[in-house]
């Protein structure tokens, strides 16, 4: 009954490789995000999708390509991995109404590029 799930949890790979991280939410939310958290714990938004449409692209290198096959899934594909891509990547979905505005985060994917 996990709300937002990500796979894999850990990803260790060589520079130059291409890798994907998958995210699924079973909350029925329309909006999903990808965040990057660096070694200093800074959390920065990368992409936002609303009902399968790209809403935000925060000047992320075009080596990063999000894909949303349906509104429950938002995957992140990274080409030509670089050392600086090492970080923890979080997927999140958002629920908002007149009473609340909450983002639900996945457990994170720790990417290590060697």
Partner 1 sequence: SQQGEEDPQALSIQEGENATMNCSYKTSINNLQWYRQNSGRGLVHLILIRSNEREKHSGRLRVTLDTSKKSSSLLITASRAADTASYFCATFDQGAQKLVFGQGTRLTINP
Q: Which is nearer to partner 1, 81 or 92 (CB)?
A: 92
Q: Which is nearer to partner 1, 65 or 102 (CB)?
A: 102
Using the structure block, give the residue that is written with the tokens 């030509």. 80
Examine residue 63 and tell whether it contacts partner 1 (CB under 8 A): no
Residues in contact with partner 1, shown as a per-residue x/- string from 72 to 111 under the rule CB under 8 A: ------------------x-x-------xxxxxxxxx---
Beta-bridge mates of residue 94 = 31, 103
Burial (CB < 10 A; 0-12, 13-18, 19+), residue 78, is buried
Q: Are 68 and 25 in contact (CB under 8 A)?
A: no
3-state SS, residue 84: helix
Please report how close the Cβ of residue 20 comes to partner 1 at its closest, in angstroms: 19
Among 8, 44, 57, 79, binds partner 1 (CB under 8 A): 44
Examine residue 27 and tell whether it contacts partner 1 (CB under 8 A): no
Q: Which two structure tokens, joined as six digits, stand for 10?
A: 């850990």
Positions touching partner 1 (CB under 8 A) are: 4, 33, 40-45, 48, 55-56, 58, 90, 92, 100-108
């Amino acid at each position: 009954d996990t709300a937002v799930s990500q796979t894999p949890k850990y990803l260790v790979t060589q520079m130059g490789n291409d890798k994907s991280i998958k995210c699924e939410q079973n909350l029925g939310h329309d909006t999903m995000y990808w965040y990057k958290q660096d070694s200093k714990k800074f959390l920065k938004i990368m992409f936002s999708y609303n009902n399968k449409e790209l809403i935000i692209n925060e000047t992320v290198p075009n080596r990063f390509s999000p894909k949303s096959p349906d509104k429950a899934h938002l995957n992140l594909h990274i080409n030509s991995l670089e050392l600086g891509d090492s970080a923890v990547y979080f997927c999140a979905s958002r629920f908002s109404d007149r009473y609340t505005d909450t983002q639900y985060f996945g457990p994170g994917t720790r990417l290590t590029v060697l």
